[in-house]
Amino acid sequence: MYVVLVYDINKENNGQKRWNHIFKICKRYLSHIQNSVFEGDITKVQLVKLKQELDEYIDHELDSVIIFKSRQEKWLNKEFWGKEDDKASFFI
H-run or E-run covering 5: strand 2-8
Rounded-to-integer distance, Cα 11 and Cα 20, Å: 12
Stretch that binds its own copies, among 13-21, 23-31, 69-77 (CB under 8 A): 69-77
- Name beta bridge partners: 8: 64
* Binders in 30-59 for its own copies, by CB under 8 A: 33-37, 54, 58-59
**Shortest separation between residue 62's beta carbon and its own copies, angstroms:** 7
Q: Consult the annotation and say whether 63 binds a ligand.
A: no
Rounded-to-integer distance, Cα 22 and Cα 72, Å: 25
68 touches its own copies by CB under 8 A: yes
The number of residues that bind its own copies (CB under 8 A) is 35
